């Protein structure tokens, strides 16, 4: 029997049992749709997190004091006073792969303007900080090195702080506000940056010269962290090694001792996040794959029922000249048609589900051609694998017994 006849016979058999064929396909449809949708949502969320993180600057390197232990008791990372401004100078002067570097001194406190007040974080930084964090000025200006040196009481506000103190859309440049009861002049406003990948408001902050924050607001002599940017993304790894070497030397850390600081880079963070979202994606995919397997077993089940129910038909086909392999092929083609057709419908459904979920979750789903090929391949394998045994059983029937079957 040639292939066209084989397909015609299989299609006729399926058309004869439309409802049953559809119900059998439903298992595959749901399986494939969930695989496609889950992979698309997983891939989409991974991509949107990556996009947001790289908008923060992929060259970014952060140095934080490491947790210190005294007799086994952790004092917490922020309690450390390991970093000094001299470290910033050392990095600036010595590290070749570093383009810009800024200290960061953190303070929290109440900010007052007129009868409005708000609680926010005040970051003491150098003028390079905006470049490093890819922050942009919407109006006004950045503080200059003179203002840094002279501990000027000037500040730059984030959008959320502006909204809280002055209302939406206001331009408060030139106005004086009180931070922790000290008067500061607003010299600039930052552009809106939105939420970070972790759901943190990146606009709820005030920037001021690190000297001002260190002496006047926090009254400390150490710094809380160092932000630096590598000259390029490729140089980011060597920049990290350079910073580590410099800091170990300036901190006089012996060979055997651990670092008293911690270096994090954006690309490293990106990798961590990617690996987490990848795990999530594969987990979702695996769960969906199980439903695909269940769908395949459904096909096998129905094919068995079909073979038993059509025993007399098989006997007849054999008596009019059907060979064992014709019968085998007929049932194989039937099960493959079922699963491939189910797969095609499933891909369409999966795509629609991914689209719907994407609009709900506010991120574009990414249906990769890879997942479509995968789904089709899996359907083909399911069709052959789960169709084989019932088909083999059918082809091994004796025509006499099959014709006599009641």
Partner 1 sequence: MKNIIIEINGLRKDYHIGEVTVHALRGVDLKIEEGEFVAIMGVSGSGKSTMLNILGCLDKPTHGNYMLDSVNINTLDKDATAKLRNKKLGFVFQAYNLLPRTTALENVELPLFYNSKVGSRERKERAVNALEAVGLADRMHHMPNQLSGGQQQRVAIARSLVNDPVLILADEPTGNLDTRTSFEIMELFQDLNEKGRTIVYVTHESDIAKFATRNVIFRDGKIQRENVVSERLNAREILKTLPVENIEEFDA
Contacts of 246 (CB under 8 A, 6+ apart): 87, 90, 91, 94, 95
- Rounded to the nearest angstrom, the gap between the alpha carbon of residue 187 and the centroid of all alpha carbons in its chain is 37
Q: Which of 316, 340, 345, 374 binds partner 1 (CB under 8 A)?
A: 316
Minimum distance from residue 307 beta carbon to partner 1 (Å): 15
SS3 content of the chain, % helix, strand, coil (to 5): 55, 20, 25
CB contact at 8 A, 148 and 126: yes
Count of all residues that appear for the chain in the document: 406
Contacts of 96 (CB under 8 A, 6+ apart): 242
- Tell me which stretch binds partner 1 (CB under 8 A): 119-127, 165-173, 283-291, 313-321: 313-321
Nearest to partner 1 of 191, 404 (CB atom)? 404
Residue 319 lies near partner 1 (rule: CB under 8 A): yes
Separation between Cα atoms, residue 124 and residue 105, nearest integer Å = 5
Residue 249 lies near partner 1 (rule: CB under 8 A): no
Q: Which of 69, 141, 249, 312 binds partner 1 (CB under 8 A)?
A: 312
Residue 1 lies near partner 1 (rule: CB under 8 A): yes
CB contact at 8 A, 338 and 13: no
Minimum distance from residue 391 beta carbon to partner 1 (Å): 17
Minimum distance from residue 35 beta carbon to partner 1 (Å): 34
Nearest to partner 1 of 5, 144 (CB atom)? 5
Nearest to partner 1 of 19, 219 (CB atom)? 19
CB atoms within 10 A of CB 396: 10
Q: Which of 88, 105, 246, 318 binds partner 1 (CB under 8 A)?
A: 318
Tokens encoding 360 = 């709900």
Residue 403 lies near partner 1 (rule: CB under 8 A): yes
CB atoms within 10 A of CB 57: 18
- Tell me which stretch binds partner 1 (CB under 8 A): 220-228, 234-242, 321-329, 355-363: 321-329
Compute how many residues bind partner 1; rule: CB under 8 A.
Answer: 26
Separation between Cα atoms, residue 166 and residue 233, nearest integer Å = 39
Greatest extent of the chain over all pairs of C-alpha atoms, in Å: 106
Separation between Cα atoms, residue 50 and residue 237, nearest integer Å = 19
Minimum distance from residue 28 beta carbon to partner 1 (Å): 23
- Tell me which stretch binds partner 1 (CB under 8 A): 96-104, 132-140, 276-284, 308-316: 308-316
Separation between Cα atoms, residue 296 and residue 380, nearest integer Å = 10
Residue 317 lies near partner 1 (rule: CB under 8 A): yes
- Tell me which stretch binds partner 1 (CB under 8 A): 21-29, 148-156, 238-246, 324-332: 324-332
Residue 322 lies near partner 1 (rule: CB under 8 A): yes
Minimum distance from residue 14 beta carbon to partner 1 (Å): 11
For residue 19, the cross-strand partners are: none
Separation between Cα atoms, residue 247 and residue 88, nearest integer Å = 9
Contacts of 57 (CB under 8 A, 6+ apart): 132, 133, 134, 229, 266
Separation between Cα atoms, residue 203 and residue 158, nearest integer Å = 5
Binding mask 382-401 for partner 1 (x = CB under 8 A): -----------------xx-
Minimum distance from residue 374 beta carbon to partner 1 (Å): 35
Hey, which residues between 9 and 68 contact partner 1 (CB under 8 A)?
9, 12, 16-17
Transcribe 225-268 into DSSP letters. EEEEEESSSTTHHHHHHHHHHHHHHHTT--TTSPPSEEEEEHHH
Minimum distance from residue 29 beta carbon to partner 1 (Å): 24
Q: Which of 326, 384, 388, 393 binds partner 1 (CB under 8 A)?
A: 326
Minimum distance from residue 1 beta carbon to partner 1 (Å): 6
Nearest to partner 1 of 15, 219 (CB atom)? 15
Which residues here bind partner 1, judged by CB under 8 A? 1-2, 4-5, 8-9, 12, 16-17, 312-313, 315-326, 399-400, 403
């Amino acid at each position: 029997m040639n292939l066209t006849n084989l397909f015609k016979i299989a299609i006729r058999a399926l058309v004869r049992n439309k409802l049953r064929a559809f119900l059998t396909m439903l298992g595959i449809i749901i399986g494939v749709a969930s695989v496609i949708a889950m992979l698309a949502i997983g891939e989409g969320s991974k991509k949107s997190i990556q996009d947001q993180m790289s908008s923060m600057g992929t060259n970014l390197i952060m140095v934080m004091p490491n947790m210190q232990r005294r007799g086994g008791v952790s004092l917490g990372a922020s309690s450390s006073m390991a970093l000094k401004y001299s470290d910033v100078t050392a990095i600036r002067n010595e590290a070749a792969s570093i383009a810009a570097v800024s200290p960061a001194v953190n303070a929290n406190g109440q900010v007052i303007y007129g009868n409005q007040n708000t609680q926010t974080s005040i970051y003491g930084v150098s003028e390079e900080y905006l470049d490093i964090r890819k922050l942009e000025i919407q109006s006004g200006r950045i503080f200059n090195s003179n203002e840094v040196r002279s501990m000027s009481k000037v500040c730059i506000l984030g959008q959320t702080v502006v909204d809280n103190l002055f209302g939406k859309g206001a331009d408060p440049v030139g106005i004086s506000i009180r931070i922790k009861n000290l008067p500061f002049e607003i010299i600039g406003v930052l552009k809106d940056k939105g939420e970070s990948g972790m759901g943190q408001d990146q606009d709820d902050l005030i920037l001021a010269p690190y000297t001002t924050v260190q002496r006047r607001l926090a009254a400390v002599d150490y710094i809380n962290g160092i932000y630096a940017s590598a000259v390029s993304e490729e140089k980011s790894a060597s920049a990290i090694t350079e910073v580590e070497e410099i800091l170990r030397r300036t901190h006089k850390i012996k060979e055997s001792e651990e670092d008293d600081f911690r270096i994090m880079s954006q690309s490293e963070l990106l990798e961590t996040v990617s690996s987490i979202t990848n795990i999530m994606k594969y987990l979702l995919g695996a769960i969906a794959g199980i439903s695909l397997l269940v769908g395949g077993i459904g096909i096998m089940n129905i094919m068995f029922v079909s073979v038993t129910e059509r025993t007399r038909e098989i006997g007849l086909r054999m008596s009019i000249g059907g060979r064992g392999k014709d019968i085998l092929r007929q049932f194989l083609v039937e099960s493959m048609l079922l699963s491939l057709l189910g797969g095609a419908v499933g891909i369409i459904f999966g795509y629609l589900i991914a689209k719907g979920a994407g609009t709900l979750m506010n991120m574009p789903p990414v249906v990769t051609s890879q997942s479509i090929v995968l789904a089709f391949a899996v359907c083909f394998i399911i069709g052959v694998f789960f169709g084989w045994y019932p088909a083999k059983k059918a082809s091994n029937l004796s025509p006499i017994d099959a014709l006599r079957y009641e």
